[in-house]
């Protein structure tokens, strides 16, 4: 791979190969090694715990020299653009930039430029794409069910603002899963989502699906309008303990995290037997190793 920015830019075969390699790393496979000293830089313009730290760990496991870009003390404070920042890092010799930014599709200008000399790995762009989250979600689903074909997956919650929903619905549909969506009407962009699955109340899907993928209510992307209290949201749209009792015994609960406990998901369910939320976080390290390895191979950085 030259870059890793959006599931739209990846073939099914490329994604499945990343999952397989992630599993190899999880089983203890050795990395074939870097040709020479290689720098990766993590630029997080939006906050993160999981994506940022698991990329950092993945980079360390691959033997990369890791640079953490501090937005507040960088020339961004003098008005430097993202383009000029990445142009600079490429010129300094950085091979891979992992970027999270609030601007959707920020990566398009970077990957088109003939002067940007580093691979771009998207750690999330606004409400656009979160392809590495999608990869770790797919890895977790595949570990559980062995296939995506015919699997019934519900994606539930703040769909409108969710880059996780967008990457997952696009990839899961392409891999043969049957998708269901549940959300408050104001957070259901039907013109965009209808082509991927069926919109139903959560009570009509909870007993039918294999995966309940719950999404965080993204308060930071709302305009301050609160249309429901946390308790009312939980009661009407959340996975409550009572609703979870109606899930198939083989079904699993997923959530990209951080979780608003007792809003989209009952506190008791976060670490319950049917939850795979902790596994998702663990898988993030291994699939991100696979992603970084693939882009480093694309830049001829491997032995
Ligand atoms: N799931 C996810 O992207 O979490 P972070 O915001 O902590 O990276």
Q: Whose CA is nearest to atom 5 of ligand 1?
A: 48
Question: Best mutation site among 46, 58, 132, 133 for ligand 1, i.e. most ligand atoms within 8 A of its Cβ?
Answer: 133
- Tally of CB atoms within 10 A around 105: 14
Contact 196, 179 (CB under 8 A): yes
- Tell me if 105 is assigned to a ligand binding site: no
Q: Give the mean pLDDT of the chain.
A: 97
* Ligand 1 site, CB within 6 A: 48-52, 124, 133, 256-258
Say whether pLDDT at 226 is over 80: no
Q: What local confidence, expressed as pLDDT, does residue 47 receive?
A: 96
Whether ipTM tops 0.90, in short, is: yes
Mean pLDDT for 236-262 is 98
* % residues pLDDT > 90 (the chain): 96
> What pLDDT score does 38 carry?
98
Mean pLDDT of 182-208: 97
Confidence of residue 218 (pLDDT cuts 50, 70, 90): confident
Phi, psi of 60 (to 5 degrees): -65, -45
Provide the pLDDT for residue 121: 98
DSSP annotation of 17 reads: H
Token output for 204: 């009509």
300/49 Cα distance (integer angstroms):
30
32 has a pLDDT exceeding 90: no
């Amino acid at each position: 791979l030259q870059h890793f920015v959006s599931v739209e830019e990846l073939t099914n075969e490329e994604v499945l190969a990343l999952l397989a390699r992630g599993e190899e790393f999880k089983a203890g496979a050795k990395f074939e090694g870097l040709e020479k000293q290689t720098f990766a830089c993590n630029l997080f313009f939006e906050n993160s715990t999981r994506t940022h730290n698991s990329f950092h760990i993945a980079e360390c496991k691959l033997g990369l020299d890791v640079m953490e870009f501090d937005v507040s003390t960088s020339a961004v404070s003098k008005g430097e653009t993202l383009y000029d920042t990445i142009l600079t890092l490429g010129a300094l010799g950085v091979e891979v930039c992992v970027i999270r930014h609030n601007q959707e599709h920020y990566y398009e200008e970077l990957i088109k430029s003939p002067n940007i000399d580093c691979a771009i790995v998207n750690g999330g762009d606004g409400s656009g794409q979160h392809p590495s989250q999608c990869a770790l979600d797919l890895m977790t689903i595949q570990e559980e069910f062995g296939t995506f074909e015919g699997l019934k997956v519900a994606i539930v919650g703040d769909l409108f603002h969710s880059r996780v929903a967008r990457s997952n619905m696009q990839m899961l549909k392409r891999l043969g899963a049957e998708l269901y969506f549940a959300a408050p009407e104001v957070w259901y962009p039907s013109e965009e989502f209808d082509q991927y699955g069926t919109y139903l109340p959560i009570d009509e899907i909870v007993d039918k699906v294999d995966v309940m993928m719950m999404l965080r209510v993204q308060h930071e992307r709302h305009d301050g309008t609160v249309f429901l209290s946390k308790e009312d949201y939980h009661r009407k749209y959340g996975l409550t303990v009572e609703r979870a009792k109606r899930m198939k015994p083989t079904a699993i609960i997923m959530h990209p995290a951080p979780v608003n406990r007792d809003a989209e998901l009952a506190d008791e369910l976060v670490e319950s037997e049917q939850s795979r939320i902790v596994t998702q976080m663990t898988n993030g390290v291994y699939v991100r190793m696979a992603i970084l390895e693939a882009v480093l191979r694309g830049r001829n950085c491997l032995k």
